[in-house]
Structure 1
Amino acid sequence: MSDPALKTQTPAAARPPSGPLQDWLATLSRIDAADQARAAPRRPAETPPPAWEPRIVAPSEPAAPEAPAAAPVAEQDDLAALMAENMMLKARLRQEHGRYDELQAMLADELRALRTHVQQEVDRAEELRAERDLWMARAEALAQPLFQPRR
């Protein structure tokens, strides 16, 4: 298409917008234009971010094993921090084991005390049964002449 053909308007495009939707669209376009006009002086022209490019890593020559002292300082610091954390975790674990052992000992003592108490109660119940049986035997012995036929 030529430029004059693009610039001429058709009769459908020349009619004014009508209706609430057209009014709303016109208002939005004015607000957008005003926002762009206000924002333009504040912002300097931004340069587009550089396109992402893959990093090329040159293959390294096989290195001879180095002594631990020649390791970078950052690695030594990381290693020291990991060792310190490991030592602290081991100390906490020992402390928790000690607490666990104490709790087990306390629980064992409580169970022994409870078992002793239950055994005492069972013994008392046995004594009461024995006494009951004795009284029942005595009652039967006393009642026996009452239920025997007379001659």
Structure 2
Amino acid sequence: MSDPALKTQTTAAARQPSGPLQDWLATLSRIDAADQARAAPRRPAETQPAWEPRIVAPNEPMEAEAPPAAGGEQDDLAALMAENMVLKARLRQEHGRYDELQALLAEELRSLRAHVQQEIDRAEELRAERDLWMARAEALAQPLFQPRR
């Protein structure tokens, strides 16, 4: 390398933008930090570890002279049945929550629909009143526009 290339070094200050661009970048970084701070508490805290299926290793091939291990199979079967019961209970609980959410949503929709209907009725009343006043104004103004005899 040439001697001037060795002496020239880029500094961090030389790379940073100045003026409005620097202000804009600083504002963006503050907004990102604020968004991340707000988003962090919204994440639900996981109280239970995520469920994963239990993997059961297959038994070794049975030999004619070895008696079957009935106790081990029964333990595995009991564990699987217990796991199945827990999963069914969780499923019932989730269905209950889902039903509650559906009921709340249906009630909110009914309320919103009633509110919209009230606003539509009010707008119809205002239109009718406007039409009445327009008819009155036309009736009062009609003699002004008739030719005089």
Change (3 A) 1:8 1:79: same
Cα distance, 1:75 vs. partner? 1.4
Change (3 A) 1:110 1:66: farther
Cα distance, 1:76 vs. partner? 1.3
Give 5+ residue unaligned stretches, structure 1. Answer: none
- Structure 1, 76-85 or 31-40: larger mean CA deviation: 31-40
**1:78-101 C-alpha deviation (Å, 9 max, x unpaired):** 111111111011001100110111
Change (3 A) 1:68 1:133: farther
Counterpart secondary structure, 1:68: coil
Cα distance in 1, alignment partners of residues 137 and 68 from structure 2: 98
Change (3 A) 1:5 1:40: farther
Cα distance in 1, alignment partners of residues 42 and 134 from structure 2: 109
Cα RMSD for the two superposed structures: 22.4
Change (3 A) 1:149 1:92: same
Which of 1 and 2 has greater Rg? 1
Cα distance in 1, alignment partners of residues 82 and 65 from structure 2: 24
TM-score (norm 1): 0.53
**1:24-73 C-alpha deviation (Å, 9 max, x unpaired):** 999999999999999999999999xx9999999999999999999972xx
Q: How high is the sequence identity, in percent, across the aligned residues?
A: 90
Give the number of aligned pairs: 147
- Structure 1, 124-133 or 77-86: larger mean CA deviation: 77-86
Cα distance in 2, alignment partners of residues 148 and 22 from structure 1: 73
Cα distance in 1, alignment partners of residues 133 and 27 from structure 2: 108
Cα distance in 1, alignment partners of residues 27 and 136 from structure 2: 113
Cα distance in 2, alignment partners of residues 127 and 35 from structure 1: 46
Cα distance, 1:130 vs. partner? 0.5
TM-score (norm 2): 0.53
